[in-house]
């Protein structure tokens, strides 16, 4: 006999795990979480490598947020290690602070400018662009062409396979420009790493009697084997709809993990290589985790067009295709798309947690209204057999 669940959740990353935890622990729902990978945590998954060093399988993940609510929520499942992220960029044979700050300018150009002088220095070079629309325009409008070319143009071309002029402003706008000496990558109020790693935090979230996990299980295979009420989907939205409006492009990465028989590899957790090599950056995990070890493990990131979907690509044409999928999704009330791939948004971890908590509140409200008899049950009138999805595909 097929097992029955209130919710099937596709993806055990931040989006899926937060929703599973809330629905199970707060509403007492029976939840099945599946992931086609053989582990929880999605892209934030970490594990001990062969040397016993804690590494992030899918590249460096640093937690930061300005939301006290999101930080408090995650703090139920982990203690934290205070950590402020610092990054250096290899430019003109030096390792210089990025985001660009006072020291970056002084060291790059051999100057001794003060904070107020550097503001004038940048203002004289910045190009007058009233409303920057592309990543190129954002950087030119802040620091001018020379710094753009040294720090941003080639990194972006390598990372995205696109010129910054082809990418939405939001991509390069992630990196601020500072006239002081603050060399932190993020200035968020809460910056820290889960003390025992992300995976342990996810395990604690998912450790509930009402939550079952199916790892190494693709939704497409599983959906025939069970009955479920509603579906929460954090995989790529275009794949869910069989690419009926065409493929949404995603940028992929190849990760090369290496362990060195020496205590340290580089001075900070991340060194960016805008202009040299095929990789964009190198991360040394011990800086992030605080682990002590005689060896050290690092990861090199090589951008790729093909492979696992890691980054939605912020461009107007892609937003237009996504809007078609979103509209289709909105017409299936018992299916909820969430997360970086489910909503095609270049979101950080905390933003995905925030989005999942918001969806949870909406679902909880709907459940409460349903219990009061205000609205009809979603997905309950029939055992879920994907007919909603298929009929939509026909009409799409």
Q: Are strands 54-56 and 46-48 parallel, antiparallel or unpaired?
A: antiparallel
For the segment 169-208, give every residue that binds ligand FAD (CB under 6 A).
none
- Among 45, 58, 77, 152, indicate the residue that binds ligand UDP (CB under 6 A): 152
Q: Which of 54, 175, 299, 349 binds ligand UDP (CB under 6 A)?
A: 175
CB nearer ligand FAD, residue 148 or residue 240: 240
| Residue 106 interacts with which of ligand UDP, ligand FAD, none, CB < 5 to 8 Å by class | none
Instruction: Provide the CA 105 distance to its chain's centre, in angstroms.
Output: 30
Given ligand FAD, ligand UDP, none, residue 335, with its beta carbon under 5 to 8 Å by kind, binds none
At residue 99, the 3 state secondary structure works out as: coil
Residue 249 binding target from ligand FAD, ligand UDP, none, CB below 5 to 8 Å by type = none
Does the protein bind ligand UDP through residue 151 (CB under 6 A)? yes
Show the tokens assigned to 46. 């970490």
Main-chain phi, psi angles of 101, to 5 degrees: -135, -170
How many amino acids of this chain bind ligand FAD (CB under 6 A)?
34
CA distance 246 to 242: 9
- Hey, what are 238's tokens? 């275009």
Range 264-323, binding ligand FAD (CB under 6 A):
310
Nearer of residues 105 and 359 to ligand FAD, judged by Cβ: 359
When binding is defined by CB under 6 A, the residue of 7, 8, 19, 35 that contacts ligand FAD is: 35
Tell me which of 19, 20, 29, 60 binds ligand FAD, using CB under 6 A: 60
State the nearest-atom distance from the C-beta of 234 to ligand FAD, in Å: 5
H or E element that contains 95: strand 94-98
CA distance readout (Å), 345 to 82, 98, 159, 167, 241: 28, 24, 17, 14, 17
* Closest C-alpha to 184, from 95, 272, 86, 288: 86
Question: Helix crossing, 115-125 with 135-143: angle to 10°?
Answer: 130
Which listed range, 115-123, 166-174, 324-332, 334-342, lies at the site for ligand UDP (CB under 6 A)? 166-174
For residues 6 and 212, what is the distance between their CA atoms, to the nearest angstrom? 12
Structure tokens, 91: 């430019």
Instruction: Kindly tell me which residue out of 7, 54, 59, 135 binds ligand FAD, with binding defined by CB under 6 A.
Output: 59
- Angle between helical axes of 14-27 and 349-371 (0-180°, round to 10): 30
Cα dist. 309→12, 42, 247, 248 in Å? 15, 11, 12, 10
Give the CA-trace dihedral at 335, 337, 338, 339, to 10 degrees.
140
User: What is the per-residue binding string for ligand UDP in 77-96, x denoting contact by CB under 6 A?
Assistant: ------------x-------
Question: Taking CB within 5 to 8 Å according to partner kind, which of ligand FAD, ligand UDP, none is near residue 229?
Answer: none
Return the residues of window 226-285 that contact ligand UDP according to CB under 6 A: 272, 274
Query: Which residues of the shown chain bind ligand FAD in the complex (CB under 6 A)?
Result: 10-16, 34-37, 42-44, 58-62, 218-220, 234-235, 253, 310, 339-341, 347-350, 352
Query: Which residues of the shown chain bind ligand UDP in the complex (CB under 6 A)?
Result: 89, 98, 151-152, 155-156, 159, 171-172, 174-175, 272, 274
């Amino acid at each position: 006999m097929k097992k029955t669940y209130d919710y099937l959740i596709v993806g055990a990353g931040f989006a899926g795990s937060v929703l599973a935890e809330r629905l199970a622990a707060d509403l007492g729902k029976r939840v099945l979480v599946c992931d086609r990978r053989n582990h929880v945590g999605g892209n934030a998954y970490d594990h001990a490598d062969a040397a016993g060093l804690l590494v992030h399988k899918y590249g460096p993940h640093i937690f930061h947020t300005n939301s006290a609510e999101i930080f408090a929520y995650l703090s139920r499942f982990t203690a934290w290690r205070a950590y402020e992220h610092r990054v250096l960029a290899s430019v003109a044979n030096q390792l210089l602070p990025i985001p660009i700050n006072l020291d970056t300018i002084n060291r790059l150009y051999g100057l001794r400018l003060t904070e107020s002088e550097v503001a004038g220095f940048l203002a004289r070079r910045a190009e007058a662009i009233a409303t920057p629309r592309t990543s190129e325009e954002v950087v030119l409008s802040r620091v001018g062409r020379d710094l753009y070319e040294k720090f941003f143009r080639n990194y972006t071309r390598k990372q995205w396979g696109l010129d910054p002029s082809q990418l939405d402003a939001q991509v390069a706008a992630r990196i601020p420009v500072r006239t002081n000496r603050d060399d932190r990558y993020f200035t968020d109020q809460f910056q820290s790493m889960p003390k025992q790693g992300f995976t342990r935090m996810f395990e604690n979230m998912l450790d509930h009697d009402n939550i079952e996990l199916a790892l190494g299980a693709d939704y497409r295979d599983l959906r025939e084997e069970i009955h479920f009420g509603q579906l929460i989907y954090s995989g790529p939205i275009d794949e869910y709809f069989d690419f009926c409006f065409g493929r949404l492009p995603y940028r992929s990465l190849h990760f090369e993990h290496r362990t060195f028989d020496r205590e340290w590899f580089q001075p900070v957790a991340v060194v960016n290589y805008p202009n040299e090599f095929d990789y964009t950056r190198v991360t040394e995990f011990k800086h992030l985790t605080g682990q002590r070890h005689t060896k050290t493990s690092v990861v090199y990131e090589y951008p790729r067009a093909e492979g696992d979907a890691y980054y939605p690509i912020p461009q107007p044409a892609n937003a237009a295709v996504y809007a078609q999928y979103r509209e289709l999704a909105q017409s299936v009330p018992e299916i909820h798309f969430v997360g970086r791939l489910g909503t095609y948004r270049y979101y950080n971890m905390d933003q995905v947690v925030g989005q999942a908590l918001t969806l949870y509140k909406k679902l909880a409200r709907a459940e409460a209204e349903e219990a009061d008899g205000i609205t009809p049950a979603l997905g309950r009138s029939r055992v879920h057999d994907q007919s909603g999805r298929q009929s939509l595909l026909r009409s799409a």
